[in-house]
Amino acid sequence: MSLISSTFDALRARQRKALIPFITAGDPDLDTTLALMHGLVQAGADVIELGVPFSDPMADGPTIQRSSERALKGKTTLRGVLDLVARFRQSDKTTPVVLMGYGNPIESMGYEAFAEGCRRAGVDGVLVVDYPPEESHELTAQLKARAIDSIFLLAPTSEDQRIADVARLATGYIYYVSLKGVTGAATLDTGAVAAMLPRIRARSSLPIGVGFGIRDADTARRVSAVADAVVVGSRIVQEIENSSHAEVVQRVGTLVKGMRDAIDA
């Protein structure tokens, strides 16, 4: 059983929902990202989604685009991100880490080399935003051989065939994008989310995390009532952008702790 699966099983046994924060690796620098990862765990994160910076993050809104630009300006590379996870694993061996990014850097490294790098670093799952199921078989095979989960996206526009395709390949959890458009683009409609999730659950027994549009504790609480996990990205990245180096870990921790408390309540 993967660390992601065992984490969700433990949460289910305690009747708790997962909180999955997203941050971009290397924003503002890799050492600060490491401190933020540990701070997220202390604030109540169950899984960490770690963004691999990319020059053309087409699914992301301006906030996360700027975080990728800052990270790339600081010379953050895919190998640097893997090294970061390995450093995190020196003192935290129990919090699942999911790499979230785009296909080009992975293709440049090579699927086998990337999967092996993930295994050595201690990565638990990979989500490639621009890889649909039909283009993912080679990568998922390499990840599966190393017991690394493959996370896939579904959206409000996903048809039944797409849901079935994802259900066949996905492991760990399914990430449901609650909005049409890019990250941070609009206000989330929890009623629409609640109407969509049964369609996914009819085809997959995997936990479902819901992201895009979760910007405060109240929204996190409402989403947790219908989903298995709450994924928060742009709001956290915005806090990083607006914080000084001295206060960024504390401010992000306070934000995430508020969401954790709301979900648990």
d(CA 14, CA 23): 27
In angstroms, the Cα distances linking 256 to 5, 40, 241, 250 are 22, 7, 15, 10
Contact 115, 139 (CB under 8 A): yes
Q: Is 49 a catalytic residue?
A: yes
Active-site residue identified among 27, 49, 124, 228: 49
Rounded to whole angstroms, how far apart are CA atoms 59 and 75?
22
Question: In what helix (H) or strand (E) does residue 128 lie, and over which residues does it extend?
Answer: strand 125-128
Residues 188 and 192: their CA atoms lie apart, in Å, by: 9
Candidates 27, 7, 21, 54; CA nearest to 240 is: 27
Residues acting as catalytic residues: 49, 60
